[in-house]
Amino acid sequence: MTATVQTDIDALMAGGLDDWLAGQGAMRAEAREKATSRWVWSAAILMPVLAFIWFSPAAKTSLAPLLTMAGIGGAAWWGYLPIAAAKQAIKIGINSAIAAAYGLAYEHEVEPGPEFAAARTFGLVPGFDRSSFEDRWHGTLEGHAFELYECHLEERRGSGKHQRWVTVFRGPLIRMAFGRPFRSTTLLERAGKHRKWLGLGGASDHVAMGGKRLERVDQVHPAFGETFALFSDDQVEARVLVHPAYVEHLLRLESAFGARELRALFAGGEVIVALEADDLFESGGMDAEKDREKAERAARQFGALAGLALAINQNERGRVLRADPQPAGRL
């Protein structure tokens, strides 16, 4: 833990979060009582019902185990609902406090906007059959319009009784107003995604997306080409927007969360970044003794994302904003 992180979490706690969390003890206790009561009632109802099923002719069929699993699963889910609601309420309180410290707003529920549509159109996220979104942070961050929320995309695989849902993307989607005007459309992704001859040839020299033909942009820095591929409809402007110094910041953004891949789109005066990572900002919990630890972890995760997003958002050529912003003030 760095001194900066320690100072930030101290400011959050002293600014009102500590007192608010202390007042959630009654809610946590009530949630536990409700959960225990529901599980006891479920057991009282299920035991004779399942005993009847297992001593009936149905025991010789596949119906008995299916009904047993469904009954136990339903009872467990019903009992857990009060705990889930309490954890979500605490998570919203903690994350709202972190957002307020940066001068932002936080919402647990998310309705994806045009940035997600653009991410789909230009391949920042893969195809999917089911989607969910949560943890929206939005407002103005160091003078830039800023929005960040988490995406969870799943694909149905298999056939018949063996169908299952598989996660194809999980991670934050970031949208920021860029620090300098531009008119081009530029796509940044990891090298090797687009290849000639049905994926068997060398790197493709162009891609066609969103009704645009984006040509591959050669970079003078060899390390850039080894890691990232850049496509744009304006070669000159693309080199100004995405110069080799960005490699360090982009890789830092990936490594900060053990991310698997980062992709970015520069279009319409904004930059949209999709980062494959684990589930973030899970600051809610039933153990009051871990509140500080969870709040600190969520603050560190958001601070790293916001700071490194700012670091790749330039106001002038050769100048990047500081990569580790501090909260704007206490709660």
Tens-place pLDDT, residues 188-227: 887 655 444 444 444 577 788 878 888 888 765 666 666 7
Residue 12 lies in a domain: yes
- Domain membership flag for residue 327: no
Residue closest to 78 by CA, chosen among 26, 109, 113, 39:
39
Looking at this protein, which amino acid is placed at residue 130? Answer: R
pLDDT of residue 112: 92
In a domain, residue 265? The reply is: yes
Output the pTM of the full model: 0.76
Q: Is residue 286, in this structure, part of any structural domain at all?
A: yes
Domain of 145 in residue numbering reads as 3-320
pLDDT in tens, 268-292: 888 898 988 777 777 777 777 787 8
Report residue 109: phi and psi, to 5°: -80, 145
In contact, 121 and 143? CB cutoff 8 Å: no
Count of domains for the chain: 1
Evaluate whether residue 326 is within a structural domain: no
* Closest-CA residue to 181 (of 314, 318, 323): 314
Does any domain span residue 303? Answer: yes
Pairing of strands 314-316, 319-320: antiparallel
Would 213 be classed as within a structural domain? yes
Burial, 177: exposed, middle or buried (Cβ in 10 Å; 0-12, 13-18, 19+)?
middle
pLDDT band at 330 (very low <50, low <70, confident <90, very high): very low
